[in-house]
Amino acid sequence: MEKIKLGIIGMGNMGSGHFRNVEAGKCPSVEVTAVCDINPQRLETLGEVAAFTDADKMLESGLVDSVLIAVPHYLHPLMAIKAFEHKVNVLTEKPAGVYARQVREMNEAAVKTGVKFGIMFNQRTNPLYARAREIVQSGQLGKPKRLVWIITNWYRTQAYYDSGSWRATWDGEGGGVLLNQAPHNLDLWQWIFGMPKRVRAFCDFGKYHKIDVEDDVTIFAEYENGARASFITTTGEAPGTNRLEISGDRGKIIIEDGKLKWWKLDEAEREFCFSAREGFICPASKYQEFSEPAPEGHPEVLEAFAKSILTGSELIARGEEGLNSLSISNAAYLSTWTDDWAELPVDEELFEKKLAQLREKEKGKPQKK
């Protein structure tokens, strides 16, 4: 069987997890032909595979036709652009980057190079979210009215944040729950429901942990078509909740506890509202429920990436789409920092200026570890 020749850049938690998935045979179209990490200790126990401490050397070696990028967030676009220059296909971890400009530039480089470019939004493989997207995007839910996502089950202890000096710092990670945990949900939000035109967000920084970045967030978003969204996330609540509700002119769907519940109205609410003669009646609806187990996610995204290179089939998430979720989180920071609305696309210059100030300020502080 034909396989892609994959190099993994970054052999930390995520990179070594992907390596093990391939070794375990979960991605039959992938062969890991090289690994790379600036820390040589991380390369010691990986067997026969070629090991590099310099990504450029790996890319120049001719051993790989594709890379999986699993380094700290700021470096995602940098490594991707390097790979594009070598005409090497790229699957990057989320988030796409830390600030919109670098991601936009990465996307432009990808288009120019023409190689395959994917991003590890593994939660898109969950059939319930895929079904939600299908219901919304096909128009079966009618004109969108509202999305509410309470996604507070990203609980993390202080030990988690203390496990790496780059974690939960402006300079090392570029953000907190919005950059590390919630990108999956921000991506699903925009994938299912589309992009808002402006947001008003409320980030609390270091509320539940000894960190500089945000660990508690509420985002309110407005859409051009009149729809509204509320997105609530934190790493400081236990037990958390993961409940997505979307309503439209033709009914409502809720995803919670491994189930998708769907109320489908017999007629459009907007018509019912003005034709009904009574004041207190509701349009009738039919109820359906779906319960479909989610796959692991990571191996499926990697395998689909390999297949798209080998056969031209679809990616699970196109790399360029990483800009969308990042733009929402960039806007959420900007809104909090300016205590005002933030329009989308975000003001890239203002965002970078504010972020640079925070990174600078942090340097004066004692190191976390």
Edge-first strand listing for the sheet containing 259-265: 285-290, 259-265, 251-256, 242-248, 144-151, 228-234, 214-222, 198-205, 342-343
Residue 3 has a CB neighbour count (10 Å cut-off) of: 17
3-state secondary structure of 289: strand
**Does 155 sit near a second copy (CB under 8 A)?**
yes
Among 26, 146, 197, 318, binds a second copy (CB under 8 A): 146
**Does 251 sit near a second copy (CB under 8 A)?**
yes
**Does 193 sit near a second copy (CB under 8 A)?**
no
Q: Is the peptide bond before 144 cis (omega within 30 degrees of 0)?
A: no
**Does 338 sit near a second copy (CB under 8 A)?**
no
**Does 163 sit near a second copy (CB under 8 A)?**
yes
The answer to whether the CB of 130 falls within 8 A of the CB of 137 is no
CA 273 to each of CA 227, 249, 262: distance values in angstroms, whole numbers, following the listed order: 18, 11, 21
**Site size for a second copy, by CB under 8 A?**
54
Site string for a second copy, 285-314 (x = CB under 8 A): x-----------------------------
**Does 160 sit near a second copy (CB under 8 A)?**
yes
**Does 115 sit near a second copy (CB under 8 A)?**
no
> Cβ closer to a second copy: 19 or 149?
149
Q: Which is it for strands 228-234 and 144-151: parallel, antiparallel or unpaired?
A: parallel
Distance CA 118, CA 151 (A): 25
Among 62, 226, 258, 345, binds a second copy (CB under 8 A): 226
The answer to whether the CB of 53 falls within 8 A of the CB of 38 is yes
> Cβ closer to a second copy: 52 or 161?
161
42 DSSP 8-state letter: G
Is residue 84 classed exposed, middle or buried when 0-12, 13-18 and 19+ CB atoms within 10 A define those classes? buried
Tokens of 134: 């299908």
Among 166, 263, 290, 337, binds a second copy (CB under 8 A): 263
Stretch that binds a second copy, among 53-61, 80-88, 176-184, 267-275 (CB under 8 A): 267-275
**Does 369 sit near a second copy (CB under 8 A)?**
no
Minimum gap (Å) between residue 236 Cβ and a second copy: 7
Which residues contact a second copy by CB under 8 A? 145-146, 148, 150, 152, 155-161, 163, 200, 202, 204, 207-209, 216, 218, 220, 222, 226, 228, 230, 232, 234, 236-239, 241, 245, 247, 251-252, 254, 263, 265, 269-270, 272-274, 276-283, 285
